[in-house]
Amino acid sequence: MLIRTVDRSRQEGTETIVSACDLFGVSRQVYYRSIQSVKRNQARALQVFAMVHEIRRHMPRLGTRKLYYLLRERLGEIGVGRDKLFSIMKANHLLIKPVRSYRKTTDSHHRFHKHKNLIEGIVPSKPEQAWVADITYIGNRENQQYLTLITDAYSKKIVGHDVSASLSADGAIRALKQGLKNRSFKTNTLIHHSDRGLQYCCDDYQKVLAKRKVKCSMTESYDPYANAVAERINGIFDLLPLSDTPKSRGIRLI
């Protein structure tokens, strides 16, 4: 504000630097320090822009929070924290606006038994107390893909996953078996929570749960976001390119 007003007065020939500074009650030293501060901020913003551009060349939809995680050390060297990064991104129109295309992956109108909600009001206190399962669409017109995830409700660790070209129960069963195979506390009681989709209610899926003595829990409402933990994690993958989806077991949120 000070710099713009003084410069405008000089251009219009109504004030000199000295008289304009006197009008604002500041010294010329303050005016010149303000100019240097603006130049430093501009130089810092250019450095941030270069870092962001380097990463977004390969991942153009990567959000600011993940950018900060990847660039935290380099940003710290130039005095840019998370809030400052958001400010620079916003000022330069670099923030990514989430664009979600909802695709139905749950068919709850079927003949199979729908189980009660066993985890409502329960806050997990240890790993492998409750797992949540969900399916999200990660494909495109040329490559239809559905990602099935099994997530530990306490640690938020993805314990099982599968990518399939269809919504059949096979992908969900493969993800479940992957998680069960790698359990660390196999004698502990485990609750499996999901929506009431056909994949989870069908006989083949329920047989796997029963064989491993896993209790089955399901959402009782028709709210697609009632399965909060799974929906939150799947929402992250909804915003990533297909090439960024998980390819190995044991992925943790950042």
**Which tens digit of pLDDT belongs to each residue from 157-182?**
999 999 998 888 999 999 999 999 99
Q: What is the pTM of this model?
A: 0.51
pLDDT for the residue 42: 86
pLDDT for the residue 254: 30
Q: Are residues 7 and 76 in the same domain?
A: yes
pLDDT for the residue 39: 84
pLDDT for the residue 176: 96
Q: Is residue 235 part of a domain?
A: yes
Q: Are residues 60 and 140 in the same domain?
A: no
- Domain boundary, last residue among 91, 113, 147: 91
Question: Is pLDDT of 209 > 70?
Answer: yes
Pick the residue with more confidence: 105 or 7? 7
In angstroms, rounded to a whole number, what is the distance separating the alpha carbons of residues 48 and 50?
A: 5
Banded pLDDT at 36 (limits 50, 70, 90): confident
Q: Are residues 162 and 82 in the same domain?
A: no
Banded pLDDT at 22 (limits 50, 70, 90): low
Tokens coding 238: 């909804």
- Domain boundary, last residue among 60, 91, 122: 91
Q: Is residue 104 part of a domain?
A: no
Q: Are residues 73 and 161 in the same domain?
A: no
- The mean pLDDT of 51-68, rounded to a whole number, is 86
Pick the residue with more confidence: 61 or 251? 61
- The mean pLDDT of 191-196, rounded to a whole number, is 91
Strands of 191-194's sheet in order across = 158-164, 146-152, 130-137, 191-194, 215-218
Q: How many domains does the chain have?
A: 2
Residue with tokens 């050390």: 73
Q: Is residue 50 part of a domain?
A: yes
Closest C-alpha among 228, 227, 128 to residue 183: 128
Tokens coding 192: 């499996």
Share of the chain above pLDDT 90, in %: 30
Domain that holds residue 200: 130-244
Tokens coding 236: 């992250």
Q: Are residues 150 and 77 in the same domain?
A: no
Q: Is residue 249 part of a domain?
A: no
Tokens coding 244: 């960024």
In angstroms, rounded to a whole number, what is the distance separating the alpha carbons of residues 2 and 89?
A: 24
- Domain boundary, last residue among 65, 91, 117: 91
Banded pLDDT at 32 (limits 50, 70, 90): confident
Q: How far is CA 112 from CA 27, 71, 74, 106, 115, in A?
A: 80, 49, 54, 14, 10
**Burial zone of 180 (CB within 10 Å; 0-12 exposed, 13-18 middle, 19+ buried):** buried
**Which tens digit of pLDDT belongs to each residue from 113-147?**
778 888 888 888 999 999 999 888 877 767 778 88
Pick the residue with more confidence: 29 or 152? 152
Q: Are residues 147 and 228 in the same domain?
A: yes
In angstroms, rounded to a whole number, what is the distance separating the alpha carbons of residues 153 and 170?
A: 23
Q: Are residues 62 and 160 in the same domain?
A: no
Q: Is residue 38 part of a domain?
A: yes
Please count the other Cβ atoms lying within 10 Å of the Cβ belonging to residue 154: 16
Q: Are residues 171 and 228 in the same domain?
A: yes
Q: Is residue 101 part of a domain?
A: no
Angle at which helix 2-12 crosses helix 17-24, to 10 degrees, equals 140
Q: Is residue 103 part of a domain?
A: no
Q: Are residues 149 and 203 in the same domain?
A: yes
Contact (Cβ atoms closer than 8 angstroms) between residue 169 and residue 204: yes
Q: Is residue 112 part of a domain?
A: no
* CATH classification of the domain holding 237: 3.30.420.10
Question: Is pLDDT of 231 > 70?
Answer: no
Q: Are residues 45 and 147 in the same domain?
A: no
Pick the residue with more confidence: 169 or 103? 169
Average predicted confidence (pLDDT) for the chain: 77
pLDDT for the residue 246: 41
